Chain A
Amino acid sequence: MSRDRIGASELLRLDAVSMHYGAGENSVTALSGVDLSIKRGELVAIMGASGSGKSTLLTIAGGLVTPTSGEVIIHGQYLRDAKPAQLAAIRRRTLGFVFQDFNLVPALTAVENVSLPLELDGWKRSKARRAALDALHLVELDDRADHFPDDLSGGQQQRVAIARAVVGGRALILADEPTGALDSQTGELVLRMLRSRIDEGAGGILVTHDARHAAWADRIVFLRDGRVVDESRRDDASSLLAAGA
């Protein structure tokens, strides 16, 4: 496989990524030859039916799972070559996850959840806390900084998760159904904030099965049975989705 130099604005690239589970007759293909590129300021929505490979793609992009074949390159770093410690460092410094179930650490306050990757990266506690408070300010949660997740609403928890995903200048946001557990109004608010962070120079993947949410993306990639079956720009996608609707 060729190892082309990644573009300066390119945050993430997936080259011919395939993922198989099991072996022999029991083998299941979750992804097959997927190519994908994310640039700064770009939000790519991944859509597809349940079991189409959306979440698998996201976890591979985040370095949580190593693909069976193909390459994942984040900021020029080939993940296949990375040691566990380097993968952990990438997750601390470069990318942030946003999950449907928020996945905040219940034992930590909002600001502690947000400062967590920074502290893990060796930042001084005071500096990490300042950065976390700045990130919470961006998602308009300054006043809830010292609350525990249990004391926050679903929407507030998801905004904390977004703040955690972008804190410390991390540029790649990987969002897995971030509005799945929220009502539509709160979901809209969360997506607006996500879009806002992207517009400020981050890049991201938004896994969703909701066309209205996909409309917040710049591009939409459609997966079926682990393959990219269609891809469109936002404007095209809007009409496409409208037609589909």
Chain B
Amino acid sequence: MSESRTARPPLRLALLLAARNARRSLGRSILIALMIAVPVAGMSATAVVVASSNPTPSELAELHLADAGSIIQVVGAPGTVARQAAFAPLQGYWDQTDPTVSIDEFEGLVDPASVIDGRVVAVIGTVATLDTGERLRQVQATAGDVFVDELAGRFDLVEGHAPERDRELVVSPSLADELGLAIGDAVSTQPDGVERMIVGIGRSAHDPDDALRVFGTISGLDAEAVGDRTFGATYFALDADLSWDDVLALNEQGLIATSREIILGGGPYPGAIPQDPLASFFGFQGQFLALAAMIGAFLLLQVVLLAGAAFMVGARQQQRSLAVLASVGADRRLMRAVVTTGGLVLGLVGSALGVALGVGAAAVFMELTRSGSVLQFPGFHVDLVVIAATIVVSTGAGWLAAVVPSRVATRVDIVAALRGARRPPVVGAGARRATSAVLAVGAAVLASGGALLVVLRTLEEYPPIVDGIAVAAIALGAVILQVGAVLALPMVLRSVARATSSARTSVRLAARDSARNSGRTVPVAAAVMTTVFLASFLMSVFGAVQLENEKWYAPQAPLGSVVMSARDVDPITDEIMAIDDLDALLAGVGEIAGAPATLVQGVYVREYWFDPSTGQPLTPPEGATVLTVGIDEDAVCPAYFGPPLDATADELEAFDAAALEDPRCAPGVDAGLFWTNPLLGDSIRVGTAGELEVATGMSLSAESRAALEAGGVVALHPAYVIDGESELRWIDAERFSSSGLHAQRLEAVRSETLTAVVQEPPTAVRGALLMSPETARSLELEVTPLSAIAYPDEMPGPREENALLELSRELTGDPWSLQSVAESGPDDVVGPAAWTLVALSGAIALTASAIAIGLARIDGRRDEAILGAMGATRRLRRSVSFWQAVLLAGIGAVVGASLGLLAAGALALPGGPMLFAPPLLQLGIAAIGVPLLIAVGAWLFAGRATALPTDRSAIA
């Protein structure tokens, strides 16, 4: 008996069968190819956009030099430049001979014009403030003679002529629109107030279309001193196309330079800093590409799972064909190769489709997002290396998706398959043992990581890397647990099937179909699980970041309010006092907020620290006092009062260490405490209950109102109340400003004790006490207007902030004279991110479930037809789809969310790197809402009944 003549399965035959099977099952093939195409398209598009953001050498020369020969920058004095990168200052960096010397310390800088033959144009970047009388804008400014022919394409004059005198300006088209300027108009610059003439409209090719930029002469824009003409200045050598030797000579003069000849010459550049081939990888774009690659890899994992399910169904449908192959002498390798080659073929088709879609999408994206700056997308570049790698990886993913189904396909009962049976594979005891082992290992690794974190916290010293090991163990444990969960899913599904054996028909059918066809259903549940796991984990991370933000956030005013100070520094006396036109202030703030504004009043406290006009320490008038509010020292962080004045170094260190551990010193505990800003945040607010509610952004409790009416006060922080009373303490002004002690430690020359209740605002408010006008009068306190406050319907933002600046200028002539704030609270990190994650995980889960249900319908067509023939209604089919979706998406989502929370919880253990603050609403929607939505979708889109095939070959 001779051995087989074929050492390997005939690839042609496998390819032929794979291609023909793909064509015969066109719907499934398109589905798989599209699944692969989507992440490939994303990755390809990213690769094209990233590559298109990087100029080629010729583009680099064109973008920066236009028709000039070279570009030069002064970076130090002669002898201070060790070497430079060939394309510096455009790309790369340079080394100083002595890195410890600051550029500010250099003397004898060389003017490039003195060492370069031909014309040299100095261009200095600065800022300017333009004032049209109606509008004020701080804008970018370019000083220098930039509108020369050689720099056309880099700087272009659209209309008019270049600035020739100091009082002439050219403005960018957007700035002209923004300020309503035209050639011939006058505009003044601030703070010098000099009136200047607009003589042209021009733009820098590096600017986006909406850039606000002004061009002028160097002296006209007062740019002569900017950075001593070093880093702020760029010098264009219009005629000199420097050689590399010329550049080396310039280096000796403290200059760095590059030229068209150098950029296009291709080197070599002896003595240059070599180009780091990995530099772009570690740069922003490289990181962006890496992020895209990680997202792409995650999506490909989902594809492997979902396409694996599709291949499993395909392999099941091909069982008879595969059995025929076996009956005519095909060995297992060929049978496997037929299925895996299908994966390769569809992977390749999906990849090619994805690349085409991605490149097209990139072109559309670039066109839609084009800002007008030539730097944004210097060209349209297709990064062949990244795209080739993407194709290889995604084609491999297609192959990988088919590997497990191919192995299952070869385990079929050939005889039964030849007779048309499609029995699902049976899970053995070995698989159960392996599952338990993987779950145990995952739990152990995760628990070890958590325990390590807790233990580390108790140690005084340990290598920093151990922290990383603990975090890595938690992450690894979570991943292993997921693998274990995937392995356990078939058993879970079987348990569910057993548990539902007495349930209604639809539930029973759904559970049994899911359990009997785990090859099809498990990958889908796994796809949902991994997605929701990642989403819930990331949501927890964002939640932790948000919590951290909120803890450290110090609000300037009540949340959601627009506030402007009613006090200004008197230009004659330098005293801080209320402005005259309070009605205009209230009207202005009310108009900006779109809501009525209220005047807030308070007790003005003169502190006598410094003379407002000279900044020198001030000697207070004889007998002057400073009003303070007594503090319960046990209620506040000891660091507030500072260490003992005679503390030794060791004592200071111990004091600081104790503060770190003291819960009274935790961030946020003292938010709102100890604010003493005489312009905006008096310690004592005075007003009616209604006015004080507006001032603090909270409703006063009945107890607070009663205290105010009874001549008491409302404390905004518990530290201001000792034994139910608050103490007003007048401190001798001279001792207050010169003793160096905290006012709390100084003896009061007068004090008044008032009954007090505590009511803390929902967001901390600057201030200590609330008081009625009657009480203030009885204590002879000087009450003056403090600020105007209003609450717009929507959360205020930059628009309101700009409007407040303009209101200040209207009222005082100075935009920054009246302090103002539009308080929108800490940035909402978690909201948008968590909703995005909900949307993304929902989309992936929906896709996965749609695929699952579609595959179930394909796979169970005959069963469904038999049910139909027996009189089953569409309602039953809907119900089966519904429960199958509930089961698969539900198990996947709940397990995924649980594991995500488990990992996040472990990382939030004492000593861990984050807090535990998952956004429960979004998490609940991801874990419960999405599966329910999927189930409803499955109910609604359950298809029509399938006719019972009459020809047995139809199921072959």
Contact = CB atoms under 8 A, between A and B. Distances in A.
Contact of B10 (A65, A96, A97, A122): A122
A86 B13 CA distance: 20
B323 to A, nearest CB: 8
B329 A107 contact: no
Contacts of B331: 84-85, 88
B953 A101 contact: yes
A106 B321 contact: yes
Contacts of A90: 1, 329
Given A64-B414, A76-B1, A85-B4, A117 B329 contact: yes
A29 to B, nearest CB: 17
Nearest to B23: A107
Interface residues of B, number: 35
B956 A101 contact: yes
B600 to A, nearest CB: 82
B402 to A, nearest CB: 16
Interface in B900-956: 952-953, 956
B327 A107 contact: no
B21 interface: yes
Contacts of B330: 88, 120
B433 interface: no
A104 B326 CA distance: 12
A91 B414 contact: no
A97 B328 contact: yes
B778 interface: no
Interface string A70-112: 0000011100001011101111110011010111111110001
A76 B1 CA distance: 8
B346 to A, nearest CB: 15
B329 A93 contact: yes
B636 to A, nearest CB: 80
Q: How large, as a class, is the contact surface on chain A? A: 35 or more
B664 interface: no
B12 interface: yes
Given A91-B327, A121-B329, A181-B952, A105 B414 contact: no
Given A107-B17, A107-B321, A59 B328 contact: no
A88 B415 contact: no
Contacts of B415: 55, 59, 64-65
B3 A86 contact: yes
B325 interface: yes
Given A107-B20, A108-B20, A119-B10, A86 B1 contact: yes
24 contacts: A55-B415, A76-B1, A85-B331, A86-B4, A88-B326, A88-B331, A89-B1, A91-B326, A92-B4, A96-B328, A101-B418, A103-B320, A103-B323, A103-B324, A103-B327, A116-B325, A120-B328, A120-B330, A120-B334, A121-B4, A122-B10, A157-B953, A164-B328, A181-B952
A106 B956 contact: yes
Contact of B6 (A82, A106, A122): A122
Interface string A113-150: 00011011110010000000000000000000000011
A41 B416 CA distance: 30
Given A64-B326, A88-B331, A102-B953, 9 more contacts: A88-B4, A89-B2, A89-B4, A91-B329, A101-B420, A105-B17, A105-B321, A120-B6, A122-B4
Nearest to A165: B328
A20 B5 CA distance: 34
A62 interface: yes
Contacts of B10: 119-120, 122
Contacts of B13: 116, 119-120
B17 A108 contact: yes
Contacts of B504: none
B777 interface: no
A106 B16 CA distance: 12
B332 interface: yes
A187 B214 CA distance: 95
B2 A91 contact: no
Nearest to B333: A85
Nearest to A181: B952
Interface string A40-80: 00000000000000010001001011000000000111000
A6 B376 CA distance: 83
A9 B356 CA distance: 63
A30 to B, nearest CB: 11
What 5 pairs across the A-B complex have the smallest Cβ distances?
Answer: A92-B329, A107-B20, A91-B329, A122-B5, A117-B328
A97 B12 contact: no
A64 B334 CA distance: 16
B418 to A, nearest CB: 6
Given A84-B332, A91-B327, A125 B12 contact: yes
A55 to B, nearest CB: 8
Nearest to A81: B1
Interface in B404-441: 414-415, 418-420
B4 A105 contact: no
Contacts of B21: 107
Contact of A104 (B6, B324, B419, B420): B324
Contacts of B4: 85-86, 88-89, 92, 121-122
A24 to B, nearest CB: 18
Contacts of B419: 101
Contact of A99 (B12, B332, B418): B418
A82 B2 CA distance: 11
A121 B5 contact: yes
A85 B3 contact: yes
A117 B329 CA distance: 6
A89 B3 contact: yes
Contacts of A59: 415
B328 A116 contact: yes
B327 A62 contact: yes
Task: Give the one of B12, B13, B325, B328 with max A CB within 10 A.
Answer: B328
B799 interface: no
Contacts of B420: 101
Contacts of B320: 103
Interface string B17-32: 1001100100000000
A13 B5 CA distance: 25
Contacts of A104: 324
A66 B331 CA distance: 16
Nearest to A107: B20
A164 B329 CA distance: 12
A64 B21 CA distance: 25
Contacts of A121: 4-6, 329
Contact of A97 (B17, B20, B327, B334): B327
Task: Give the one of A77, A88, A125 with max B CB within 10 A.
Answer: A88
Interface in A199-224: none
Contacts of A164: 328
A105 B324 contact: yes
A107 B12 contact: no
A116 B321 CA distance: 12
A112 B15 CA distance: 13
A112 B953 CA distance: 18
A119 B325 CA distance: 11
A121 B325 CA distance: 12
A171 B910 CA distance: 78
A77 B3 CA distance: 12
Interface string B142-158: 00000000000000000
A141 to B, nearest CB: 17
A105 to B, nearest CB: 5
B372 to A, nearest CB: 55
A97 to B, nearest CB: 5
A136 to B, nearest CB: 15
B199 to A, nearest CB: 77
Nearest to B5: A122
Contacts of B326: 64, 88, 91
A166 to B, nearest CB: 12
B416 to A, nearest CB: 10
Contacts of B414: 64
A57 to B, nearest CB: 12
